[in-house]
Amino acid sequence: MTIHLLEITETTIGKPFPDIVPRLDRWKLMARCASQDPNTCYFLKQIADLGKSNRVDGKAALSALAKLLQVAQTGQPLESFYDKKQSHQLHEFDYKGITHVVWRLRKGDIRLVFYYAEGKVVFLADALAKRQDKLSAGEKIKLENEIKTYIDAEQANEICVIQPEVGHVK
């Protein structure tokens, strides 16, 4: 099954004149979309929903994403730019005989959850408000399923990357 990925950049999130010049060795931040329409990006919808339910959470999520965009440009491991409270392994699970590690970045009560994929890709799996550190069983299953969907599509070479125009994603 083909999945659609949107590269998350400053332009994608509405900055018409990006401050960051993309480097070839950067980490590409990718998030899954429901279709070829960039406006169906699950991750960006989660961030928008956080802002609708709690303005502070929305600002924290956007701030965390802005820093992540800057850090990703270095091409270095993301966690080296954050302290242990801000970034660490969140969860790990076995799938197809391999242990997969899920990471998280923290900004206040917001968690940006990601997975290091092949080819300098950071797959953004979830953005959530978390008032406690532990994941519930349901949250673990949701994350595992999202990452398994990505892994399966990657292994089957069924990933379609969407390239939106400037300011296209609303």
pLDDT tens, residue by residue, 107-166: 989 999 999 999 899 999 999 987 776 888 999 999 999 999 999 999 999 999 997 665
**Is residue 10 a part of any domain in this protein?**
yes
Task: Give the distance, in angstroms, between the CA of residue 125 and the centroid of all CA atoms in the same chain.
Answer: 5
Which pLDDT score, from 0 to 100, does residue 99 have? 97
Find the distance separating the first CA and the last CA of the chain, reported in whole Å: 26
The predicted model scores a pTM of 0.90
Tell me the CATH number at 77. Answer: 3.30.2310.20
**Is residue 43 a part of any domain in this protein?**
yes
Number of domains within the chain:
1
pLDDT tens, residue by residue, 7-25: 998 777 776 666 666 677 8
For 119, the domain range is: 3-17+25-162
**Is residue 167 a part of any domain in this protein?**
no
- The closest of 76, 25, 33, 91 to 8, measured between CA atoms, is 33
**Is residue 169 a part of any domain in this protein?**
no
**Is residue 84 a part of any domain in this protein?**
yes
Which pLDDT score, from 0 to 100, does residue 168 have? 47
Which pLDDT score, from 0 to 100, does residue 55 have? 92
Residue pair 10/160 in contact by the 8 Å Cβ criterion: no
**Is residue 72 a part of any domain in this protein?**
yes
pLDDT tens, residue by residue, 83-106: 888 888 999 999 999 999 999 999
Residue pair 2/153 in contact by the 8 Å Cβ criterion: yes
Which pLDDT score, from 0 to 100, does residue 16 have? 64
